[in-house]
Amino acid sequence: MNLALVTSQVLAQYASNQDDEDSLLLRYLREQGHHVDYCLWTDPAVNWRQYDVVVLKSPWDYFDRVGEFYQWLDSLDQLGVRLLNPTATVRWNADKKYLRDMEQAGVRIVPTHWLPQGSSFHPDELFAQLATERLVVKPAVSGGAKNTFDLNRAEATHRAPELTALLAHEDYLAQPFQPQIQLQGEWSLIYLGGAFSHCVLKAPKAGDFRVQHYLGGSIEPREAPASLRATADRIVRDFAPGCLYARVDGLQDTNGELLLMELELIEPFLYLESGGQSAYARYEQGLRLAAAH
């Protein structure tokens, strides 16, 4: 196949502490006989129609330029270019309000209060509504822990003007801090070609709550707990049809059940090295199946 793997100009900013997944995947696909180019989604010179399939791999600046990103997705549709994951799914997944859709469909998510653009940040109301003493506040369109705040009552009161100023520009959401992140870690279940592939457990560095590896978090390959796997299987079946890849991020609650934090369908690390050579093979097989349809 003639493939384009879509990346961004900010790749090094997020990959500094992680095996270079992009390069390893590129090498593997070429070893299987595919012609593969890495392309910037922002490069107007790219002829997307020359590729059999275009794959979103690491467009890690899309949330900084989301309007342009949506326009790029529209242009692919107009050109009749096949994007993986599908453009309609990517549009839905780009804004974290997709979590509201999932909750309404019966998926258990971290309790969330939605803060619309133009509203004011009222910390006392949020602490009461979410029944917590510690808030996590982040944009509805974001990634990489951008503009993410971990606040106790005093900090939230002090930073309320700052957060109100940020709300002038975009939607935010507020959630109660989940202590399981520091006590146990965050589970990531990775699906390739619609089927479960492998699982990792991510933990923040001491004193932090962010699990991203480029912020000092750790990554450990683990067997997926059966209860988490069963729920994640249903989530991918119901919300990621036709997707080459999906990553289900969540916590294991006190009953052993999955509490969803994110369904990552645009630009997640897939921890392919943690899944071994078979993960690369499943990725490539998923590509073949998608191209055939």
Q: How confident is the model at residue 205 (pLDDT cuts 50, 70, 90)?
A: low
What's the confidence (pLDDT) of residue 204? Answer: 66
The residue out of 137, 156, 176 marking a domain boundary is 176
**Looking at the predicted structure, is the pLDDT value of residue 292 above 90?**
no
Residue 292 lies in a domain: no
Residue range 41-53: mean pLDDT, rounded: 97
Pairing of strands 218-221, 172-176: unpaired
Amino acid at site 233: D
- For residue 15, the domain's CATH number is 3.40.50
The C-alpha torsion from 181 through 153 and 123 to 214, rounded to 10°, is -40
For residues 213 and 197, membership in a common domain is answered with yes
What is the share, in percent, of the chain residues with pLDDT greater than 70?
A: 92
E strand or H helix that includes residue 196 = strand 195-203
Q: How confident is the model at residue 17 (pLDDT cuts 50, 70, 90)?
A: very low
What are the pLDDT digits (tens) for 99-115? 999 999 999 999 999 99
E strand or H helix that includes residue 33 = none
Strand partners, 209: none
Residue 220 lies in a domain: yes
Backbone angles phi, psi at 193, to 5 degrees: 60, 25
What's the confidence (pLDDT) of residue 170? Answer: 96
> Could you give the CA distance from residue 59 to residue 4 in angstroms, rounded to a whole number?
12
What's the confidence (pLDDT) of residue 211? Answer: 46
The C-alpha torsion from 41 through 3 and 268 to 281, rounded to 10°, is -170
The better pLDDT of the pair 60, 246 is held by: 246
Q: How far is CA 259 from the centre of its chain?
A: 15
Residue 284 lies in a domain: no
Residue 129 lies in a domain: yes
The better pLDDT of the pair 189, 146 is held by: 189
The residue out of 59, 94, 129 marking a domain boundary is 94
What are the pLDDT digits (tens) for 115-138? 999 999 999 999 999 999 999 999
Domain that holds residue 64: 2-94
- Mean pLDDT is lowest, of 50-59, 65-74, 172-181, 200-209, for 200-209
Domain count across the chain:
3
